Amino acid sequence: MEKFFATCPRGLERVLAAELAQLGADSVQAVDGGVGFAGELATCYAINLESRVASRVLWRVGESGYRSEHDVYEAARAIEWPRWFSPKHTIRVNVAAIRSPVKSLDFVTLRVKDAVCDVFRTARGERPHVDTRSPDVRVHVFLTRDMATFYLDTSGEALFKRGWRNASGAAPLRENLAAGILKLTGWTASTPLLDPMCGSGTFLVEAAMMALDAAPGLGRGFGFEKLTNFDSKAWAILLERARTRRRNSHPLLIHGSDKSGSALKLARDNLAAAGLEGAVHLKQKDILDGGPPAAGGIIVMNPPYGERLADRDELAAFYPKLGDVLKQRYSGWTAYILTADLRLAKLIGLAASKRTPLYNGALECRLFEFKLVAGSMRRSKRDA
């Protein structure tokens, strides 16, 4: 068995651990920022193809104690890199650290790159070149206070890049964060789902793919395909299984709306690019107007996050109205609102039944859960 580490948006580690166990990973262990697991390479291929929550799957190829940059160089120099790639491949080295005593991560990056190249020069007489934009092979180094761990990135491009996004909207959610939130809500395809601020449609695409049992990685390539030990037969079997399993698109209980026509067009284009035409009901609509598309279900949304002061004032005025609309017209629904604006919790005037800390990239957010039950939700002025 090989050892792996799958990274994910912070806050989703436990959701990812459950997903990986379901996908056949062994010895699954959630830690901050990701999940360690053991498995065969074919399991790693399957996880790259099927995981909706992982950002990358890293394959552990070496580990060593260290005290200095030079120790890290020596540890990297001791790894048999030519087992997995050749001097014809381009490489990129990434270094991340927690409580490491080294002074410069850039310098460690350079030294690890030197070590990899020195191994090849000695073994093959030539060295791989660096390509920081789209390398064939990515080497990741993780430094703690006294341990350096070396990984080969089996994903290549981050897994939230599913291959369907046409152009980015103003602030699209990362696909794996959207999928993780859907899993946190417990939503299943037999329940109506509504994103009333759908923007580019990230929640809608991810939900529809879940409902149709579509593997998120069917439309893209992976880093492991470039490695010299790539098992193309095992991969072909996994791909074939995922392709035959995917159900044909048909109208689902998934609804998206947005007040902006251009956002809606973006959502429509993204759904089409993901092969989901006709699967999702789209409507141009202000959340403050009209009512819900069904008697009950799950609402997920990610309101604009005001960076400019004027936007922030506008949002502060918007939250109480949103709270009133949800309370008055959406009883029977449970709403999940992801925001980095912590004023929302007070200003919306509804009592949150859950608050989950999550990160959208580096941005700290909360996912608030509001159970919209007629009559009982209004928070008294005294509590607010």
Ligand X SMILES: C[S@@+](CC[C@H](N)C(=O)[O-])C[C@H]1O[C@@H](n2cnc3c(N)ncnc32)[C@H](O)[C@@H]1O
The answer to whether 173 and 208 are in contact (CB under 8 A) is no
Q: Looking at this protein, which amino acid is placed at residue 42?
A: A
CB of 263 to ligand X, least distance (A): 4
Check binding of 172 to ligand X (CB under 6 A): yes
Number of other CB atoms surrounding residue 207 within 10 Å = 28
What is the Cα–Cα distance from 207 to 93, expressed in whole angstroms? 34
Hey, what amino acid is at 265? K
Under the binding rule (CB under 6 A), the answer on residue 197 touching ligand X is: yes
With CB under 6 A as the contact rule, which of the stretches 149-157, 164-172, 215-223, 234-242 interacts with ligand X? 164-172
Q: Which residues pair with 138 in a beta bridge?
A: 92
176 binds ligand X (CB under 6 A): no
Shortest CB 199 distance to ligand X, Å:
3
Residue of the chain from 31, 78, 98, 171 that contacts ligand X (CB under 6 A): 171
Residue 304 near ligand X by CB under 6 A: yes
Provide the CB-side half-sphere exposure for 175 (13 A, CA): 25
Tokens of 360: 């959208």
Choose the binding region for ligand X from 56-64, 141-149, 230-238, 284-292 (rule: CB under 6 A). 284-292
Cα–Cα distances (Å) from 50 to 115, 159, 273, 294, 335, in that order, read 34, 10, 19, 31, 27
> Contact with ligand X (CB under 6 A): which of 33, 169, 192, 349?
169
100 or 356: CB nearest ligand X: 356
Q: Which of 202, 249, 339, 360 binds ligand X (CB under 6 A)?
A: 202
Minimum Å gap between C-beta 171 and ligand X is 4
Contact (CB, 8 A) for 176 and 54: yes
For 232-250, b where at least 16 C-beta lie within 10 A, e where not — what string? Answer: eeebeebeeebeeeeeebe
Compute the least distance from the CB of residue 15 to ligand X, in Å: 18
Contact 326, 374 (CB under 8 A): no
Indicate the residue among 93 and 210 with the shorter CB distance to ligand X: 210
Residue 263 within binding range of ligand X, rule CB under 6 A: yes
Residues forming contacts to ligand X in the complex (CB under 6 A) are: 169, 171-173, 196-197, 199-200, 202, 258-260, 263, 286-288, 302-304
